[in-house]
Structure 1
Amino acid sequence: MPHKWLIFLSLGVTTVIIFVLFIFHLLPIRAPLADKIVALENSGNGLPTATFINPALGSLQAPVKILVFSDFLCSACQQLAASLATVHQTYPTQVQIVWKNLPNQSLHPLASPAAVAAHCADQQNQFWPYHDLLFARQNQLSQDQFMVMAQELGLDLDSFARCVDQQDPLPVIERDLAEAQALGLTATPTLFINQRSYAGALSTASLISYVENALRP
């Protein structure tokens, strides 16, 4: 397939670059563990920011914003993604979900290449469908699959391959990693619901409860 060897080469380079940047190690949170709730108002670490470069799902004017630091190869992140999908369906105008990259390269060698591929899909307004495919096929992911999924979504394959080859999304991923380090994050997934942070694979019921609390005046 045209560009295939370029994709493999650039994904390898991307992995090395992000591995060097990812100097702190993240500990995965397993689903059976209780939700870890951290109030950030007095933590001193501040809050994450969301800009137009971060993929977002839902209304920009939504009163509740959920910023998710996640890894496409993390099993707890996969579970959280399913819960977040239900939240989006339940509160389509009241909740905005924002994606932030936190690939744990030390545990998941394909995490960083997956993030690059997802953001290349985002350049064609297909981040969330690609996001869903990555999590749906988490156990079968390979470098071949990145192009296969792009083809299934009807993406312009030349543009997609060029984006991956030139590593266009790297600045976005590097920025998210730097922000996570500044915030002192130590687990994937970690999400922020307005002023509070939560770590782990929160259940749908827990998420809905936290959203309802955030919606109260």
Structure 2
Amino acid sequence: SGDLRIEMRDLAVFGEESERAARAVFAAGKQDEYWDYHNALFEGGEHRPKSQLDDDSLVSLGEDLGLDPMQFKQDMNSTEAHEQFDTVASEGQSIGVSSTPAFIIGGKPLLGAQPTQQFTDAVDEALARAES
């Protein structure tokens, strides 16, 4: 009905490797493969070990998905990718997000994995505030 907009940001909370992975997903998005890369990066809902988050491993994952590896590596390490990461990190900090998963509903953070009812209540409350 157009009452809800969903956005996703890649926030790195585990240090340099997480930042590199966030920039890799950004690079995959430049080739219109954001979700395929994201899903492959977190296959089975698991975090990859640090040893699989170096440049070569991330480029190889992109190549496995049919991405242009030269363009991918260039985009992943570009000024634009670094600036995007810094912007998202600053935005997250400014609204109180310091861990993942985190959800902002109607301007209010909802942190951590929560029962469905928490989300339903938060969305209903935000819609009621928006309509008044």
> What's the TM-score bracket when you normalise by the shorter of the two chains?
0.7 to 0.9
Aligned length: 123
| Greater shift in the superposed pair: 131-140 or 151-160 | 131-140
**Within-5 A mapping of 1:64-213:** 64-65=4-5, 97-104=6-13, 107-136=14-43, 138-140=47-49, 141-143=52-54, 144-203=56-115, 205-206=116-117, 209-210=120-121, 213=124
Question: TM (normalized to structure 2)?
Answer: 0.74
Q: CA deviation at 1:148?
A: 2.0
Long gaps (5+) in structure 2: none
Q: Which has the higher contact order (CA 8 A, sep 6+)?
A: 1
More helix by share: 2
**How far apart, CA to CA, are the structure 2 residues paired with 1:162 and 1:109?**
18
Long gaps (5+) in structure 1: 1-60, 66-96
**How far apart, CA to CA, are the structure 1 residues paired with 2:34 and 2:18?**
15
AA matched with 2:12: P
1:117·1:164 contact (CA, 8 Å) conserved in 2? yes
Question: TM (normalized to structure 1)?
Answer: 0.48
Question: Residues 212 and 102 (structure 1 numbering): CA distance in 2 closer, same or farther, change over 3 Å?
Answer: closer
Question: Residues 196 and 182 (structure 1 numbering): CA distance in 2 closer, same or farther, change over 3 Å?
Answer: closer
Question: Residues 153 and 210 (structure 1 numbering): CA distance in 2 closer, same or farther, change over 3 Å?
Answer: farther
1:120·1:168 contact (CA, 8 Å) conserved in 2? no
Task: Describe the superposition over 1:174-202 as per-residue Cα deviations: whole angstroms up to 9, x where unpaired.
Answer: 11111122223333322112343200022
Q: CA deviation at 1:215?
A: 6.3
Question: Residues 169 and 149 (structure 1 numbering): CA distance in 2 closer, same or farther, change over 3 Å?
Answer: same
Question: Structure 1 vs Structure 2: percent identity of aligned residues?
Answer: 23
AA matched with 1:159: Q
**How far apart, CA to CA, are the structure 1 residues paired with 2:4 and 2:95?**
20
Question: Residues 147 and 111 (structure 1 numbering): CA distance in 2 closer, same or farther, change over 3 Å?
Answer: same
**Structure-2 residue corresponding to 1:63:** 3
Task: Describe the superposition over 1:102-152 as per-residue Cα deviations: whole angstroms up to 9, x where unpaired.
Answer: 212xx4431000001000011011111111111225234332331122112
**How far apart, CA to CA, are the structure 1 residues paired with 2:118 and 2:28?**
27
**How far apart, CA to CA, are the structure 1 residues paired with 2:68 and 2:83?**
22
* SS class of match (1:64): coil
More strand by share: 1
Question: Residues 131 and 207 (structure 1 numbering): CA distance in 2 closer, same or farther, change over 3 Å?
Answer: farther
